[in-house]
Amino acid sequence: MVENAIEITGLRKTYAATKRSEAKEALKGVDLAIPKGSIFGLLGPNGAGKSTMINILAGLVVKTAGNVKIWGFDQDVNPRQSRAAIGVMPQELNLDPFFTPRSSLDVQAGLYGVPKSQRRTEEILEMIGLSDKGEAYARALSGGMRRRLLLGKALVHDPQILVLDEPTAGVDIELRQMLWRNVRKLNEQGKTIILTTHYLEEAEEMCDEIAIINHGELLIRDTTRNLVSRIDSKTLVIEPVSPPAGTLSLPEGVEMETRAGGRLAFRYARTKVKPGDILAKLREAGVEIADVSIEEPDLEDVFLDLTRSAA
């Protein structure tokens, strides 16, 4: 039994030089395994190589070197089976304006060779909340509806793996929540989900595991929890009754920052300093405290830490 939904080894992609641009090495030998059944986040700054990787998985971009296995099928040996195992919801709203949602889904199913008797057009329309828009022209759909239709199109052949490329970029909260509800449901039904997102909070909330890529290289891959616990810093935030008089003497390595409303934030290494040490110093200085809280590191800190040091 194959354990991994995706196995990538030594994946390279160099876009050829054109008259206007030099050759670009977008992926520089990436190894990555994505376990079956997970919700896996692929993160990285703009231009890191995420779309290139996803497009290679989807069979839309031809790799330069390396090996890609999808649901156990080598992309080069079994292109049909590997393509059938994956559905991609792309970033761009590339819909034919003259197709209705119902015919869009039907045509897509036809492209994947799904026999008429096995098509789930109505079920998918229902799931993406477009049952009442089945006969509307795509050009008459709102941006959010088009995005939902793209999700539907990625599902027509009932793939084991669903890839979502920046699914919530620029969408409103309601649609985002609907998308995530659907994603969770599909995951519970056994689908492996791979998503790229710029919203780190979202990745932290949704993904079991995360890979961060930068400049075409894999920087790290770990469970979301482990990644967040790598960051040693925490921040103690206090609201003083009145601003401290004079400079404060703080434990070594603690950095202070003044925030809105006169709040003071103290960033410290949790393995070296205890928040009580900071509070003791404040008390010594006669600072009266109205409120206190501690901010835990989040994925954004991890991301900045890793991409900064590798820049």
Query: Which stretch of DSSP H or E encloses residue 239?
Result: strand 233-240
Q: Which stretch binds ligand ATP (CB under 6 A): 44-52, 104-112, 156-164, 169-177?
A: 44-52
Interaction between residue 52 and ligand ATP (CB under 6 A): yes
At closest approach, how far in Å is the CB of 34 from ligand ATP? 17
Residue 49 lies near ligand ATP (rule: CB under 6 A): yes
Contact flag: residue 48 with ligand ATP (CB under 6 A): yes
Q: Are 66 and 9 in contact (CB under 8 A)?
A: yes
Smallest distance from the beta carbon of 46 to ligand ATP, in angstroms?
4
Q: Are 234 and 46 in contact (CB under 8 A)?
A: no
For residue 206, give the 3-state DSSP assignment: helix
Q: Is residue 51 a contact residue for ligand ATP (CB under 6 A)?
A: yes
**Binder to ligand ATP among 47, 79, 110, 143 (CB under 6 A)?**
47
Cβ(202)–Cβ(168) below 8 Å: yes
Least separation in angstroms between residue 113's CB and ligand ATP is 28
- Other Cβ atoms within 10 Å of 177 Cβ, number: 12
**CB 53 → ligand ATP: shortest distance, Å?**
7
Question: Which listed residue (11, 26, 141, 278) binds ligand ATP by CB under 6 A?
Answer: 26
Backbone angles phi, psi at 74, to 5 degrees: -70, 125
Candidate residues 4, 14, 24, 144; the one interacting with ligand ATP per rule CB under 6 A: 24
Cα-based torsion angle of the residue sequence 32, 35, 36, 39 in order, rounded to the nearest 10 degrees: -90
φ, ψ dihedrals at 22, nearest 5°: -75, 165
* Position among 46, 94, 189, 247 found at the interface with ligand ATP (CB under 6 A): 46
Q: Is 90 among the residues that bind ligand ATP (CB under 6 A)?
A: no
The residues facing 25 across adjacent strands are 14
Q: Of 32 and 273, which has the nearer Cβ to ligand ATP?
A: 32
The only residue of 50, 147, 153, 191 in contact with ligand ATP, by rule CB under 6 A: 50
Q: Which two tokens stand for residue 180?
A: 């995530």
**Nearer Cβ to ligand ATP (114/211):** 211
Task: Please tell me the number of Cα atoms within 13 Å of 88 on its side-chain side.
Answer: 20
Residue 11 CB, nearest approach to ligand ATP (Å): 12
Continuous H helices in 24-135: 50-57, 79-84, 101-111, 121-127
Residues 1-20 that bind ligand ATP (CB under 6 A): 15
Task: Report the nearest approach of ligand ATP to the CB of residue 163 (Å).
Answer: 12
Quote the tokens at residue 186. 């599909």
Binding footprint of ligand ATP on the chain (CB under 6 A): 15, 24, 26, 44, 46-52
